[in-house]
Amino acid sequence: MTNPKGRFGTHGGQYIPETLMNAVIELEEAYDRYKEDPEFQAELTELLNEYAGRPSRLYFAERMTNDLGGAKIYLKREDLNHTGAHKINNVLGQALLAKKMGKTRLIAETGAGQHGVATATAAALLGMECLVYMGVEDMERQALNVYRMRLLGAEVRGVETGTGTLKDAVSECMREWTSRIEDTHYCLGSVMGPHPFPTIVRDFQSVIGKEIREQLMEKEGRLPDMLIACVGGGSNAIGTFYDFIKDGSVELVGCEAAGRGIDTFETAATINTGKPGIFHGMKSYFCQNEYGQIAPVYSISAGLDYPGIGPEHAWLHDLGRAKYVAITDEEAVQAFEYLSRTEGIILAIESSHALAYAMKVAPKMPKDRIIVVTVSGRGDKDVAAIARYRGEDIHD
Amino acid sequence: MTEISDAFTKGKAFVAFVTCGDPDLETTKSVIRSLQDNGADLIELGIPFSDPTAEGPVIQAANTRALSGGVTTDSIFSMLEEMSGEIKVPMVFMTYANVVFSYGTERFVGRCKDVGIKGLILPDVPYEEREDFAPYCEKEGLSLISMVAPTSADRISMIAKHAKGFIYLVSSLGVTGTRSEITTDIGSITKIIRENSGTPVAVGFGISGPDQAKKMAVHTDGVIVGSAIVRIIEKYGRDAPVHVGEFTRSMKDAVKDL
């Protein structure tokens, strides 16, 4: 799917300072070597299974299915992974790769804190130093995760520039990597940034879709009709979709954060409101003004609060192979509350965007149809914020 | 019309950077005049960007000040139209890929030509991605400036061979901003560049004053100073032009006869 320069259609590429070029070339060469190395793959599989708890469950949400009265709904339970989200799949892969490359230090950006926690975890496990950049706004929203990272031995540095959110944390990571390359790997958390990151992260996350195929085959003896996942940068979504891109009968739906609505300025729905651009190392779609200034996006979800989208998603959108819909804060919060009550599963507010779409479409689909929703993470981290959204002031 | 090459004919060159619209475009105009009057050989005009990933805190803050003041790509073009004929020193734009791309690269480069801009520096466009911009620049006679970094190693000759205008040698790892010490071996990098290209080499990132400028200029054809100038503008605001002028004079005096 990728050409040698890391292009997905017109998207992707390597729009980064010259200072970083040899670092990404070195990373690409190392990745090409280790991805074919049985010993590396065996080591990674061992970590994923024994440490992270893979394979994650594919759970039939029977009460939800009956309540909605349409398509059968399965939940891919990435929330059950160690550290509570899909992020660990990618991080264990990258950290192991970095270690093989002789790097001793990991740096990472984080929005909701899940990728930061996963990176801090892998660093602790593999005996590496760890520095996480997080927007000050997000540190406030996700205070619990900040403490978790520190508990794991990582340094968390607050980013005050710009909007103090995920995009600013990514910018700060790029700046940090430019100043210290020799011993440092930038453990990018999503399918974004310069080549080879979108490809590497996708490959490490594609375990999600591969498992869905096997598990559903076992349970239902067939492919799903629709896959739904939330999209910020888009790593759990591409991980869910990738193995099914070739199966034309499987509908792929990415759910973006509409925030307060795609007709307002308080949105982070990139495909629905953005236009083509070049930022953070890649050509893709970005929320921006007429002069190409990146827009200060908004979502209740710190993990989807990003003005861009991974280049492979941009391409799937161009091709019409995947569909990208916008889900508002209110719809996501309702889904968050709905799954808690109906299935006893408190899912992340990010994943709630995917669930909200399933709640819209399932009732309109025949009962013999199958939807798989990826529950990318668990929602413990969001409980206080949701309470505040509902007007109840509780402390973390 | 003056060309970029003219900047390197009066001894070692002093290349000055200023963020357009910091704190407003009238001040930028006066700063440009002051730079010209006090011996700057080449002027880099920064078009502010919301998320300048190659900049340190000083120039980041200048970008924020300029954007909050309402400056746009179009108002910067208008400022240059108003100054038409007045500035004899060659000028180039420094900005980020998205500013040019979103404007429409062909349209952007066309307007550059109209207002007398001679080149384009895009720090987030490395050699591998220059095809998005270089053909448009070539068509209108603009130079897309190539950058060489301390980490370029085996890439230096490839970059140098295709360089136009001048080569921007990045003095240190990291982002823009003044540094107390520069440890990169500028001499050996310049030597490899010279073996592959006759294009002049100017070194930038972290140069704060005349002594450091001298050290850097010995090995190269000129020095580029950004953050130190932006800091003067930050400190003096609308009264900055005279102070920028004094600084420029001291820097040009330090390097010209090396």
Q: What are the tens digits of pLDDT across the range A291-308?
A: 999 999 999 998 899 999
pLDDT level of residue B179 (50, 70, 90 thresholds): confident
What gap in Å lies between CA B21 and CA B1, rounded to an integer?
25
Question: Does B124 sit within 8 Å of A175, measured CB to CB?
Answer: no
Q: Which residue among the candidates A109, A211, A331, A343 is catalytic per the annotation?
A: A109
- Of B24, B28, B21, B122, give the one whose Cα is nearest residue B73: B21
Mean pLDDT of B17-46: 98
pLDDT of B182: 85
pLDDT level of residue A268 (50, 70, 90 thresholds): very high
Reading the block at residue B40, the tokens are 């700057």
ipTM of the shown complex: 0.97
Residue B178 clears pLDDT 90, i.e. is over it: no
Residue A395 clears pLDDT 80, i.e. is over it: no
Reading the block at residue B101, the tokens are 């791309």
Which domains, ranges and CATH numbers included, belong to chain B? 4-144+212-248 (3.20.20.70)
Residue B238 clears pLDDT 50, i.e. is over it: yes
Q: What are the tens digits of pLDDT across the range B106-164?
A: 999 999 999 999 999 999 999 999 999 999 999 999 999 999 999 999 999 999 999 99
Reading the block at residue A93, the tokens are 């892969």
The chain B residue lying nearest A307, using CA atoms, is B51
Distances (CA, A) of A351 to A39, A252, A336, B200, B222: 34, 15, 8, 54, 54
What's the whole-number average pLDDT of chain B?
Answer: 96
pLDDT level of residue A4 (50, 70, 90 thresholds): low
pLDDT level of residue B181 (50, 70, 90 thresholds): confident
Spatial neighbors of A273 by CB under 8 A, at least 6 apart, are: A262, A267, A287, A326
Residue A341 clears pLDDT 80, i.e. is over it: yes
Q: Are B45 and B91 in contact (CB under 8 A)?
A: yes
Nearest to B173 among A178, A275, A281 (CB): A178
Helix residue ranges per DSSP H, A274-379: 311-319, 329-343, 349-361
Mean pLDDT of A373-396: 90
**Interface subset of A 150-189, CB within 8 angstroms of B:** 161-162, 167-168, 171, 174-175, 178-181
Q: How many Cβ atoms sit within 10 Å of the Cβ of residue A352?
A: 32
User: Omega into B48 within 30° of 0, i.e. cis?
Assistant: no
pLDDT of A396: 53
Please indicate whether residue A109 is annotated as part of the active site. yes
Which domains, ranges and CATH numbers included, belong to chain A? 7-48+86-201 (3.40.50.1100), 55-84+206-389 (3.40.50.1100)
Mean pLDDT of B19-41: 98
Residue A1 clears pLDDT 70, i.e. is over it: no
pLDDT of A2: 43
Please indicate whether residue A301 is annotated as part of the active site. no
What's the whole-number average pLDDT of chain A?
Answer: 96
The torsion angle over the Cα atoms of residues A332, A333, A338 and A344, rounded to 10 degrees, is: 100
